[in-house]
Amino acid sequence: MADRAQIAVLISGSGSNLQAILDACTCKSIDADLCVVMSNRQDAFGLERAKKASVPTLVLDYSLYESREEYDSALIAALSEYQPDLVVLAGFMRILTPIFTDAFAGKLINIHPSLLPKYPGLHTHKRALEAGDSYQGATVHFVTHELDGGPPILQGRIKIADTDTADSLASRILTEVEHKIYPLAVQWLVQKRVEMRDDGAWMDGELLSGTGFQYIETETNK
């Protein structure tokens, strides 16, 4: 068995969150290694990032499967070969069935670009702007059967500027929030400081609120 925890990352696109996690593993702010990066798309740029870091890659094309359940079963079989301690969804744009979420319950996390429970689903930044919100952010949460509805672990926010558009918010939230909170939350799971129980996410023996731990940048977690 590997000494360091093994992480599988699932992507569909650019993989900038994957890169933040890879960098954190390299500089040891995450005490783990990536065992595989899996994509549902052959053209996902994140696959190049994984190859550059010498992490094995895997592509599972949905069109080769009859149903979501069949696809998810194949995905479980493929990932199980790598025996991941943690499965990290980083911009993985496919809805997973209970077959998959149950197989990795408690060790499956996602990052969602909104202040959950606000705005599950798509177009989160546009929806925050249309609602006239003052803040927008991102949330790392455990994945359960409910889409973007599992217990939040860690949430970070920025103030929306008058000049912000959905695109500027997406890019600011990626760099100012997501790339900071995702590696930190992954490390908490690796350290077993955070766990999922029936009633929610627990950290250091305390039940976290329905929005998770609130991230505030300090000198030590910058």
Residue 138 or 194: the one with the smaller Cβ distance to ligand GAR is 138
The CA distance from 140 to 127, in Å, is 19
Contacts 24+ apart (CB under 8 A), 148-151: 148/110, 148/112, 148/114, 148/116, 148/120, 148/121, 149/116, 149/117, 149/120, 150/110, 150/196, 151/196, 151/200, 151/201, 151/208, 151/210, 151/212
Q: Residue 138 — φ and ψ, nearest 5°?
A: -145, 155
Residue 14 DSSP symbol: -
Residue 5 or 148: the one with the smaller Cβ distance to ligand GAR is 148
The window from 31-39, 70-78, 107-115, 199-207 that contacts ligand GAR (CB under 6 A) reads 107-115
Say if residue 111 is exposed, middle or buried (CB neighbours under 10 Å; 0-12, 13-18, 19+).
Answer: buried
**Quick check: is 112 catalytic?**
yes
Smallest distance from the beta carbon of 121 to ligand GAR, in angstroms?
8
**From candidates 116, 169, 174, 208, binder to ligand GAR by CB under 6 A:** 174
Give me 186's structure tokens.
Answer: 């992954």
* Total residues at interface with ligand GAR (CB under 6 A): 15
The CA distance from 56 to 197, in Å, is 31
111 binds ligand GAR (CB under 6 A): yes
Residue written as token pair 């599988």: 8
Residue 2 or 93: the one with the smaller Cβ distance to ligand GAR is 93
139 binds ligand GAR (CB under 6 A): no
Which residue has the CB atom at the shortest distance from ligand GAR?
91
Smallest distance from the beta carbon of 173 to ligand GAR, in angstroms?
7
Mask of contacts with ligand GAR, 4-33, x by CB under 6 A? -------x-xxxxx----------------
Say if residue 31 is exposed, middle or buried (CB neighbours under 10 Å; 0-12, 13-18, 19+).
Answer: middle
Residue 80 or 117: the one with the smaller Cβ distance to ligand GAR is 117
Residue 126 or 202: the one with the smaller Cβ distance to ligand GAR is 126
Catalytic residues: 112
Residues that bind ligand GAR (CB under 6 A): 11, 13-17, 46, 90-91, 111-113, 138, 174, 178
